Amino acid sequence: MEIDRAVREGSDRRLQTKYRNAVYVIQRAFALYEFEQVAFSFNGGKDSTVLLHLLRAGYYLHKGKPECSNGSLSDSVLNCPIRTIYFESPCAFPEINSFTYETATVYGLQLETIHSDFKSGLEALLKEKPTKAIFLGTRIGDPNAVGQEQFSPSSIGWPPFMRVNPILDWSYRDVWAFILTCKVQYCSLYDQGYTSIGSIYDTVPNALLSIADSASTKGTFKPAYMLSDGRLERAGRTKKMHLKCNSTSPNNGVISVTSSAFFTASIVVVGDEILFGTAEDKLSAALCKKLYGIGWQVTRVAVVQNEIDSVAEEVERRKFTNDMVFLFGGFGPMQSDVSLAGVAKAFGVRLAPDEEFEEYLRHLIGKHCTGDRNEMALLPEGITELLQHEKLPLPLIKCQNVIILAATNVCELETQWDCLLELPNTPLVQLAPFMSKHLSSMLSDVEIAQTISKLCLEFPDVYIGCQRKSRVQSLISFVGKDKTRIELAAGRLCNSFPEGAFSEVNRG
Ligand SMILES: Cc1cc2nc3c(=O)[nH]c(=O)nc-3n(C[C@H](O)[C@H](O)[C@H](O)COP(=O)(O)O)c2cc1C
Ligand SMILES: Nc1ncnc2c1ncn2[C@@H]1O[C@H](COP(=O)(O)OP(=O)(O)OP(=O)(O)O)[C@@H](O)[C@H]1O
Ligand SMILES: [Mg+2]
């Protein structure tokens, strides 16, 4: 079989190992489940394309390599007539759609197209046809791969089936090594600089592949297999929150950009000494200001103990509720430096040696690196991205939406913040800035409370807060992204009281 031969006869030992393991998982699944009760989730993406050919190889080996009477391989075994499900969406790239359909025809896949979301589509599918297992092209590093194994039951709340992930441990490089070694067709978007493909509204070519040397090559991109750091394969995926694409919406998935889009962040500070009261947390106050400056809203600052479970608990909660979580403290060689272990626990992954980070550490602390395994170079496996900038002695560590800031003082924080903003794939999207207006008054909080409550109902888009300077002096703040609305709300307050009751103050 051509795939099997291409890999085995090639010289890439690593690919051969990955291939053998993936095909083994596929053969075991075929031995475990009836062929009619397994399905392949295929969407024309590079990972599912790899999986398609592995399934063909696994099926061929499972079938025991039958041959035609003339000694050549029969066509029926070169194909793997597996039930194949494709969740088609109006937001998909036309190139992806056509590649999916053409590939299904070429390889004799039994294609079933589903037009609803994953969960309800699978519920309907399982009701209609018994389905015990579904093959997916999920890989470690995909946002939804966390905690998964090669055989993982579907999650709670999902219909029951086994998710089979034969290429879970494959890297970006392994995927391209396989595609190029086996010379199989792939979707044309990957030749135009796309490295991971979502919808037309959230995916652009990967800027790291841009050829922007001259006017004639402007807007041209190198092919996906040229991306040297596979951890950046999702750099062309923009944030979903900006854009809403809904296949069931009346405007049939037409893009709608939320003008008041805003991101939220939370800050986790790891520090026993802050909780003892012997040290002060100045870093989170400085970071709040920075985030506010780029239009982000900070929804929580939490100080936790230097304890794995305390860090894990806080990070686990915040990574769901916030777009980004920033973590300070508890990072280093001391026994109390448990932040990375806490982050790993929050994501349900283990700490594993990261060769690239180890190299940076060796440069930085050289002879102080003891033993042949540096504990500081143990990073959460499969979810870590190193954010490197020439001004930083060590790259910043990003684990999905959690960024570990190694700053020990405000000055270091400022450098790290500036570097983060300068990164080509910065996770810090600059949003419309917040604006504010502040009024001071000698009226007491009791006198103004009712009017402010009414204003809050009338202006849900403006934050209206009252800070008591004393029992008889208040500072009322109006914060939001629409200056007219802020002015209107502030004017409404002033008009509700005798003239001169409020005076504007500048709070920088
Ligand atoms: C066949 C199939 C099975 C899935 N099973 C689960 C599951 O058991 N639990 C879950 O949380 N998500 C499940 N998902 C959803 C994926 O984890 C993930 O959300 C999706 O593949 C990524 O698409 P998105 O980034 O557009 O959300 C499944 C998706 C597919 C296609
Ligand atoms: N619309 C879909 N229909 C069927 N299966 C899907 C769909 N979207 C995702 N999947 C399944 O989830 C897997 C992971 O999706 P993911 O987008 O990470 O990979 P891919 O699409 O194969 O490649 P890429 O990362 O380059 O987009 C796919 O390989 C496929 O098995
Ligand atoms: Mg994809």
pLDDT tens digits for range 347-401 = 999 898 888 888 888 888 776 655 445 677 899 988 898 999 999 989 999 999 9
pLDDT of the residue at 217: 53
- How many whole angstroms from 166 Cα to the centroid of ligand 2? 13
Euclidean distance between CA atoms 114 and 121, whole angstroms: 6
Instruction: Give, for ligand 2, the residue of 26, 40, 41 to mutate: max count of ligand atoms closer than 8 Å to Cβ.
Output: 41
Which of 42, 47, 118 best tests ligand 2's pocket when mutated (most atoms within 8 Å of CB)? 47
Q: Is 385:232 a contact under the CB 8 Å cutoff? A: yes
Helix/strand/coil for 127: helix
* Of 247 and 132, the one with more pLDDT: 132
Q: Give the three-state DSSP class for 123.
A: helix
Give the C-alpha distances (Å, rounded to integers) separating 132 from 36, 37, 57: 9, 5, 21
Q: Fill in the DSSP letter of residue 477.
A: E
Per-residue H/E/C for 63-117: CCCCECCCCCECHHHHCCCCEEEEECCCCCCHHHHHHHHHHHHHCCCEEEEECCC
CA of 51 from ligand 2 middle (Å) equals 10
Q: Is 148 in the pocket of ligand 2 (CB under 6 A)?
A: no
Q: Which CATH number fits domain 265-422: 1.20.1730.10, 3.40.50.960, 3.50.50.60, 3.40.980.10?
A: 3.40.980.10
- Answer whether 103 contacts ligand 2 (Cβ < 6 A): no
DSSP for 194-256? -SS---TTTB---GGGEE-SSGGGTTEE--GGG-S-GGGGGGGBPPGGGEE--TTSTTTT--E
Contact between 357 and 377 under an 8 Å Cβ cutoff? The reply is yes
| Token pair for 154 | 């579907």
In this prediction, residue 425 has a pLDDT band, given cuts at 50, 70 and 90, of: confident
Q: Ligand 2 pocket, 138 CB below 6 A?
A: yes
- Extract the tokens encoding 76: 């029926």
* Percent of the chain predicted with pLDDT > 70: 89
pLDDT band at 154 (very low <50, low <70, confident <90, very high): very high
Q: What is the mean pLDDT of the segment spanning 137-157?
A: 91
> Is 181's pLDDT higher than 50?
yes
Region(s) of the chain under CATH 3.30.70.600 = 435-505
Q: In what order do the strands lie in the sheet with 324-328?
A: 297-304, 264-270, 324-328, 402-405, 396-399, 384-387
Which segments of the chain belong to CATH 3.40.50.620?
2-177
CA-wise closest residue to 231 among 173, 190, 315: 173
Ligand of minimum distance to the alpha carbon of 234: 2
3-class secondary structure per residue, 259-326: CCCCCEEEEEEECHHHHHCCCCCCHHHHHHHHHHHCCCEEEEEEEECCCHHHHHHHHHHHHHHCCEEE
Cα-to-centroid distance, 99 and ligand 1 (Å): 21
Q: What is the pLDDT of residues 301-350, one digit of tens each?
A: 999 999 999 999 999 999 988 889 999 999 888 888 899 999 999 999 98
User: Which of the four pLDDT bands, split at 50, 70 and 90, describes residue 260?
Assistant: very low
For ligand 2, is residue 166 a contact (CB within 6 Å)?
Answer: no
Ligand 2, residue 49: give the atom nearest the CA: 22
As a CATH number, domain 2-177 is: 3.40.50.620
Question: Of the given ranges (115-119, 179-183, 251-255, 353-357), which has the lowest mean pLDDT?
Answer: 251-255
* Among the bound ligands, the one closest to the CA of 190: 2
Q: Which residues contact 363 (CB under 8 A, 6 or more apart)?
A: none
Bridge partners of 387, per DSSP, are 396
Considering every ligand atom shown, identify the ligand nearest to the alpha carbon of residue 42 and give its number.
Answer: 2
Rounded to the nearest whole angstrom, what is the distance from the C-alpha of residue 204 to the centroid of ligand 2?
16
State if residue 196 touches ligand 2 by the CB under 6 angstroms criterion.
yes
Instruction: Tell me: pLDDT of 15 over 90.
Output: yes
Instruction: Record the tokens describing residue 410, joined without a space.
Output: 């405000």
The pocket around ligand 1, CB under 6 angstroms, is made up of 41, 118, 122, 134, 136, 144, 154-155, 158, 163
For residue 51, the ligand closest to its alpha carbon is 2
Give, in words, the CATH class of 435-505: alpha beta
Q: Is the CB of residue 137 below 6 angstroms from any atom belonging to ligand 2?
A: yes
- Cβ(197) – ligand 2 distance below 6 Å: yes
Q: Is 194 exposed, middle or buried (0-12, 13-18, 19+ CB in 10 A)?
A: buried
The predicted structure's pLDDT at residue 92: 92
Q: Is 199 in the pocket of ligand 2 (CB under 6 A)?
A: no
Q: Which amino acid is at 162?
A: M
- Predicted confidence at residue 257, as pLDDT, reads 28
Q: Give the number of the ligand closest to the Cα of residue 141.
A: 2
- The atom number, within ligand 1, closest to the CA of 161 reads 8
Answer whether residue 432 shows pLDDT above 80: yes
Atom 9 of ligand 2: nearest residue by CA position: 43
Q: How far is the CA of 29 from the centre of ligand 2 (A)?
A: 20
CA 282 to chain centre: 29
Tens digit of pLDDT for each residue in 202-258? 899 998 888 865 555 556 899 999 988 887 898 888 654 333 333 333 233 222 223
* Residue of 239 and 198 predicted with greater confidence: 198
118, 158, 401, best to mutate for ligand 1 pocket (most atoms within 8 Å of CB): 118
Distance CA(363)–CA(354), nearest Å, equals: 15
* CA 234 to ligand 1 centroid distance, Å: 17
pLDDT at 342: 96
Look at the block and give the residue holding tokens 């197209």: 113
**pLDDT (0 to 100) of residue 114:** 95
Q: How many CB atoms lie within 10 A of CB 282?
A: 11
Residue nearest to atom 31 of ligand 2 (CA): 136
- The closest ligand to the CA of 224 turns out to be 2
The amino acid sitting at 107 is: Y
Q: Write the DSSP symbol of residue 141.
A: T
- Dist CA 426 CA 187 (whole Å): 27
- What pLDDT, on the 0 to 100 scale, is given for residue 144? 85
User: What average pLDDT does range 449-474 have in this prediction?
Assistant: 87
Average pLDDT over residues 283-301: 94
- Find the range with the poorest average confidence among 121-130, 246-255, 366-375, 423-432: 246-255
Distance of CA 154 from the midpoint of ligand 1 (Å) = 9
Main-chain dihedrals φ then ψ at residue 361, nearest 5 degrees: -65, -40
Q: What is the DSSP letter of 446?
A: H
- Residue ranges, comma separated, of all CATH 3.40.980.10 domains in the chain are 265-422
Nearest ligand atom owner, CA of 54: 2
Ligand 1, atom 30, residue with closest C-alpha: 118
- Rounded to the nearest integer, the mean pLDDT of the chain is 87
Cα 204 to middle of ligand 1, angstroms: 22
Confidence check: pLDDT of 445 > 90? no
Minimum CA distance residue for ligand 1 atom 21 = 144
